[in-house]
Amino acid sequence: MLSFTRLLTAQPSDLSRSLCRTSLPSRKSTAPANLKLFFYSHPTPGPPERRRRSGRSLLPPLRPPRPARLPDALGSGAEVRAASWAGLGGPGWQRAGRVQAGICIMEKQVLESTEERTFQYQDSLPSLPVPPLDESLSKYLDAVKPFLNQEEYQRTEDIVKKFENGIGKELHQKLLERAKMRRNWLEDWWLNVAYLDLRISTQIHCNMGGPGPYIEHCWPPKEGTQIERACVNIWHTLKYWDLLRAEKVTIERSGNTVLDMNQFRMLFCTCKIPGVTRDSIGTYFKTEAEGECPSHLIVLCRGRVFAFDAMHEGSMVTPPEIFRQLTYIQKRCHSEPDGPGLAALTSNERTKWAELCLFMLSSYGNI
């Protein structure tokens, strides 16, 4: 099974501990004889010119003779990069073109914001308020009432009143003091208790996000189309990453109230680092105005971990380019013995995975 994850950083993380990087042959090559694997530790910083001089292996761009334009009804200036650039044809890629046309509409009508930047109001958002004590206790009683009989509810109500007139006042005052020092007095506690302190397996019990079958209504699953579908899904995910980097994702609102967009910074280029008692979050996303950020993709296949860059000379790779990368990885992995499967260790109980990670780092370095 060939699988892929969202964009990750190459900082120490569940996956990048065992990352190896692929140097794929140029488009002129017909055989994968020159593939090289070498350990990958961190993306080379700097502009594209500097990255090229540093020896990063990127595919030369496919140059179309002319982009195929969509009808004006699908969005002014929208372009579909035809799969024929890479010699890829057939109904699958025609469907991919229609899916790509749909993203143009979505970008124009839903995502892109020409008047506002995605993170424009972050610094001006009000701090999270501490709700009044009596209001919190009233909501608590309303929440537990459906699950209690009359006697149990009466006993709970007595405990709540005792709390309100006793230590509750002191604790509420401490919350107010904490709120004076932080913009969000709850965020760290919630992140730690709900996610980072958990010692159970993340993949099974606490998977924060993942891809969904959002194109199955127009492109039903079919045997032998896994890579086609994967590269189209990846490309659209990259488009969203690119819009977020350019701060063109529309600001979310509740009525006229601007909502916090900070969570979108952890949608990409973010990893969960195992810890013996508590995990930590490493996020390396930056907007275009803030500078460079990781732009590579990670591919898991038959116990091996591969990475290739999603950007080349300032342009995003196309679906045919992604298709070629994934096809090459799949052919290589199916023609050789399975890899060591280090990524499977990330599904362990968190403390055990942290100990194994520390052991591998001390014994073999950041592999």
pLDDT single digits (tens) 35-91:
333 333 333 333 333 333 333 333 334 333 333 333 333 333 333 333 323 333 444
Is 245 in the same domain as 333?
Answer: yes
Single-letter code of the amino acid located at 258: V
Residues 95 and 216 placed together within one structural domain of the fold: yes
- Structural domain contains residue 151: yes
Confidence class of residue 215 from pLDDT cuts 50, 70 and 90? confident
In a domain, residue 190? The reply is no
In the Cβ-directed half-sphere of 182, how many Cα atoms lie within 13 Å? 15
Residues 161, 99 share a domain: no
Within 10 angstroms of residue 367's Cβ, the number of other Cβ atoms is 16
Per-residue pLDDT at 71: 31
When mean pLDDT is compared across 145-154, 205-214, 303-312, the lowest value belongs to: 205-214
Phi-psi region of 126 (alpha: psi -120 to 50; beta: other; left: phi over 0): beta
Co-location of 218 and 107 in the same domain:
yes
Residue 192 lies in a domain: no
The larger pLDDT score, comparing residue 153 to residue 3, is at 153
Does residue 327 sit in the same domain as residue 360? yes
Of the three residues 147, 182, 217, the one that is the final residue of a domain is 182
pLDDT tens figures, 194-207: 999 999 998 878 86
Burial of 352 (0-12, 13-18, 19+ CB in 10 A): middle
d(CA 43, CA 56): 9
Interstrand relation of 20-23 and 36-39 (parallel, antiparallel or unpaired): antiparallel
Mean pLDDT of 290-301: 96
153 CB burial (10 A radius; 0-12, 13-18, 19+): middle
Q: What is the pTM of this model?
A: 0.68
Q: What does pLDDT average to over the chain?
A: 76
Any idea which of 84-93, 261-270, 322-331, 334-343 has the lowest mean pLDDT? 84-93
Domain contains 339: yes
Quick one: 158 and 42 in the same domain? no
Q: What percent of the chain is modeled with pLDDT above 70? A: 67
Six token digits for residue 273: 């680092």
The 296-301 sheet, strands edge to edge = 2-4, 296-301, 304-309
Which CATH number is 44's domain given?
A: 3.30.559.70
What's 150's domain CATH number? Answer: 1.10.275.20
Q: CA-to-CA distance for 108 and 277, rounded, in angstroms? A: 46
Asked if 318 and 223 sit in the same domain, the reply is yes
Domain count, the chain: 2
pLDDT exceeds 50 at position 274 = yes
Mark 110-133 as b/e (b = at least 16 C-beta within 10 Å).
Answer: ebeeeeebbbeeeeeeeeeebeeb
Question: What is the structure's pLDDT at 166?
Answer: 95
Do 142 and 229 belong to one domain? no
pLDDT of residue 103: 53
Choosing from 148, 182, 216, the residue where a domain stops is 182
Q: And the tokens for 47?
A: 């502009």
Whole-Å CA distances, 103 to 48, 75, 109, 159, 242:
27, 10, 10, 55, 13
Average confidence (pLDDT) over 14-40: 35
Q: Using alpha carbons only, what angle is made at residue 50 by residues 46 and 51, rounded to the nearest 5 degrees?
A: 80
Residues 216 and 358 in one domain: yes
Q: How sure is the predictor about 12, in pLDDT bands with cuts at 50, 70 and 90? A: very low
| Within-domain flag for 30 | yes
Is 67 inside any structural domain? no
174/309 same-domain check? no
Residue 6 in any domain: the answer is yes
How high is the pLDDT of residue 315?
Answer: 93
Residue 230 lies in a domain: yes
- Model confidence at 220, in pLDDT bands (50, 70, 90)? confident
Q: Which of these ranges, 91-105, 281-295, 323-337, has the smallest mean pLDDT?
A: 91-105
Nearest of 119, 41, 113, 122 to residue 286 by alpha carbon: 119
pLDDT at 221: 85
285-317 in b/e form (b: 16+ CB < 10 A) is: beeeeeebbbbbbbbbbbebbbbbbbbbeeeeb
Residue span of the structural domain in which 281 resides: 2-60+85-125+199-364
Residues 6+ apart with CB under 8 A from 98: 218
Q: Do 154 and 299 belong together in one domain?
A: no
Residue 27 and residue 144 in one domain: no
